Amino acid sequence: MSVFQYTPDEEIQIHREEAIRLMCQPFLSHENGLPEWIKNSAAAYIRVAREPNKRAIVLFFRSRHKSHSASIACLDFVGMTSNQIERDFRHWADPDAARRDSIQDVRIGELGGHGNGGKCYMTQMFEDHSYFHTVRNGLGCQYGVKSGSVAFGYVPDSTSGKDFQVSNINESTKACLQTMGCDFSSLPESIQEIAQQANGYTFICGVSPRYWEEREACQRLIDNLLAHHQMITPLQLCQIYVIINGSPFNQGKPLELPRIDPLRGFESPRAILIPTILRDPISNQNMSTVDRSSSSQGVLKIFTSDKNMRIGRGGKRQGRHTVTYHTDKSGVIGKIPMSSLDVESNYRDYMYCDCHLESLDCFQQNNRGALSESPLTRAIEKWVSAQVRAFCRELEERERKIIKEQDRHELVRLSEWLDHWKNQFLQEFMQGLYGGGEGKPIVDNPTLPSGTPTRIEVSITNPLAGKGVYFRPTIKFFDVRNRRIRPVPFRWVSEDNNVAMVDEELMLVRTFSFGKTNIHAITIDDKVKSNTVPLEVVRITELRVLPHEIEMPAGTRRKFEALCKLPDGSEIANVYLTWLENNPSVARVSSGGLVYAFSPGKTEVTATDESCRSDVPAVITVTPETGRGEGKDEGKGFPKILISEVQCYPGEEISPVFRSDEPPVTQRVQDIDKVWWINLASPFARYYYNNSNYGADSEAWRMYHVERVIDIIVQIALVHGPQSEDSLASKEWVQRAAEHEADIRIKALESLKEFIEVGDSEN
């Protein structure tokens, strides 16, 4: 076997500026950039072995004014020497910069990185310039960079900006604070004490931050910091304070990691050793998980949460709803959302994981997000999915055991009776309402009674929206007897037209900028005002549409889910977006993602807003109309109604388990057009069927059961609308369905009075 010989070049050639810009791409936001400054300050405290109660970090935010620009700054009380600046800071991609000269190496890996993040943030996210003023042992330095450049330098030059004498460190600190509109006396007392005893500090500042909208920008960024995976260790090791326009935030108290209470009975994390050999699911190759430098096995820790970590826009739980990868050498090296695991159980949304494995260190990427794809990382993710799936099954089984065995038969019997009744009711109701024979209306659509409104009810499908998106809120009018009546002239009101404004001609809401507002309706005479619904316009960095392909008969409805990635790395669904179809004669999609199939053919659909667009279009294939499932067999084409924890969908072996804080009636993604579930874990459901005074054979339970069935019937009526092409326009159908909802409830309750009082025919 010949030996390969060659003569390597003496110098590796690289386009330095473009290489730096490429590796800085993950830090093109304040949400990802500011944690790098904080992490660097925390690492500085650890390097010098500062006592835990003296590790203060202060964030400053100053709004733009005619006399000064907006700015963001970070202050710690350690400081740097010119030697550290020239040897460590100014060198890009130096992985040892954070730990060099460390007195102790305790947890320094958690705070180290690639030597890029803080500098990337300085070079990219400020319109004017960025700099830091640092003092250590009586000598000061000023070092910075102007906007658009990646070349740092002393300010104004190395003669006057390097190693200048600082005789009074307190006065020097106060001068830095004044640039942020802050007096020394405004600092919390604990920080004042630390500052007076310090022999150094680093004040890093960016002037004229990009994409910085003054309104609520600070609060949103603070919320994102508390959710960011890079902030977990700094928040544990240091006291991080915030000053906004010279005033202490949070009453001068340091920021704290959001508390995540575990599920009862699972207070400690589930720790599982990672096997030394795992199989890659693609190549089927066995991969060793043991690092050459360490013979110890890795460990996966699965934590539980007592609340759903995916829903809601607090962000504080969502940001930690991840599998976070750690190594001793580098600390946090990456993360993936729990939703990306191959786990269908709803309990997945009540978990988060830490995976400690040294052999993964070489797969970390610059943004510490998903690890680089490789046989080992694929094998690890598959194994983690299996462990989470097994834990979910254990929790589901625990929930199922709560149900009284003697009630199971009764619950199933009632459910089957009501499901059969539902099919008959929908068949008759919708035929009478929308026509017969050829699908043409046989009578004019019944209308609501007229009256004088005393109450207006406004609702929106989603509390979140992308930027530049149109949508229509739902509005209902009620009279003094709480009877729903016809709409009267009204107008929409947005409390912040900078965030969202109402188009009076179209009667649609349009979003304009990131932020929060409230929306309500009021009658033209200003006498009756509706409830207020909150709306937040979120910044979306990535969009994925699920499922990727849909096949559906003409005249039916399906639902797309758009997963929106936010700057903090979390993923959310249920966001108003703009949906673009390349062939709208085949199918259209509403702003909420509801697909309306019109005629046979294919169309591609893209979800978008003004800041982001889904990379891969979803494909809708509309087949010829086939009628309702089984032809003339009454209503079998309508989705089934089943009870969670008790009944199984045909073809499945285990009944799903939902959580108490999920909706009383719900669907999984795979259930669309097939089944609706009555959530047996819902608080009132638990109370009625599990209470000794009621039970599954009680009138109280039957009433609750009927109410949930009617809720579902209203949803089914929306999806399985009229078949005539003339009446399939999405706006017309949604409006008509809302008008008929009260009629559905009245007719259904009239039909079920006897059932509620005495039960079904088998009782």
Average pLDDT (51-58) is 91
Average pLDDT (141-156) is 89
Q: Hey, what are 118's tokens?
A: 């803080």
Domain boundaries, the chain: 16-252, 270-400, 405-446+540-758
Q: With a cut of 70, say whether residue 634 has pLDDT above it.
A: no
- State which fold the 16-252 domain adopts: Heat Shock Protein 90 (3.30.565)
Q: Would you give the DSSP letter of residue 467? A: T
Average pLDDT (266-290) is 93
pLDDT in tens, 405-435: 657 788 888 888 888 888 878 766 655 543 3
* CA gap 187, 242 in Å, rounded: 10
Strand order in the sheet with 675-678: 640-643, 675-678, 665-666
Contact by Cβ (8 Å): 42, 118: no
What's the mean per-residue pLDDT of the chain? 80
Token pair 């910044």 is at which residue?
Answer: 539
Please tell me the pTM assigned to this model.
0.53
> What was the pLDDT predicted at 431?
52
Strand order in the sheet with 594-597: 557-559, 594-597, 587-589
> What was the pLDDT predicted at 382?
94
pLDDT confidence tier of residue 242, bands split at 50, 70 and 90? very high
Average pLDDT (243-252) is 90
Contact by Cβ (8 Å): 640, 676: yes
pLDDT in tens, 61-90: 998 888 889 999 999 999 999 988 888 787
Which stretches of 322-404 are DSSP H helices? Answer: 375-400
- 538 three-state secondary structure: coil
Q: With a cut of 90, say whether residue 201 has pLDDT above it.
A: yes
pLDDT confidence tier of residue 105, bands split at 50, 70 and 90? very low
Q: With a cut of 80, say whether residue 195 has pLDDT above it.
A: yes
> What was the pLDDT predicted at 474?
82
pLDDT in tens, 650-676: 888 888 888 877 788 888 767 777 889
Q: With a cut of 80, say whether residue 25 has pLDDT above it.
A: no
Q: Spell out the residues 6+ positions from residue 184 whose beta carbon is closer than 8 angstroms to its own.
A: 170, 173, 174, 177, 192, 195
